[in-house]
Amino acid sequence: MANAGKPITQRQLRVGEMIKQSLSMIFLKDEAKIPNIQTKEITVTEVRMSPDLKTAKVFVLPLGGKNSDEIIGKLKEFSFVVRKVLSKKVMMKFLPKLFFVKDESFDYAEKIENLIKQANK
């Protein structure tokens, strides 16, 4: 899914944002029935679209970051359910395949913040 050095287009950003908002509402309203998961506790932080708009990398983070590997595993396993609900919300020629990934950016930001605090002491 790498762009091979090409900049991200406006279209990719626009479609990614549209899918992010739709997924957020689906999870918030608990419309995607995934066994043993409270989807209300899932935050969609970012969606990155491939240049052909046929795949979407969905960065998610469970509330409080607890059981994140288990929840992301379930999301990967039941991505077809989420995709089916998404197909009713988003009108596109090709609905992208969804690849769920844990969002590590908050952990990274916290690590950097702690390093800055240590350097200032």
Question: 39-71, pLDDT tens digit by residue?
Answer: 888 889 999 999 999 999 999 988 877 778 888
Q: Which CATH class is domain 10-120?
A: alpha beta
In contact, 98 and 79? CB cutoff 8 Å: yes
pLDDT value, residue 101? 92
pLDDT of 112 higher than 90: no
pLDDT value, residue 6? 78
- Show Cβ contacts of residue 56 under 8 Å, excluding neighbours closer than 6 positions: 16, 19, 47, 48, 49, 50, 96, 97, 98, 99
Question: 68-103, pLDDT tens digit by residue?
Answer: 888 888 888 888 888 999 999 888 888 999 999 988
Range ranked top by mean pLDDT from 10-14, 91-95, 116-120: 10-14
Residue ranges covered by each domain of the chain = 10-120
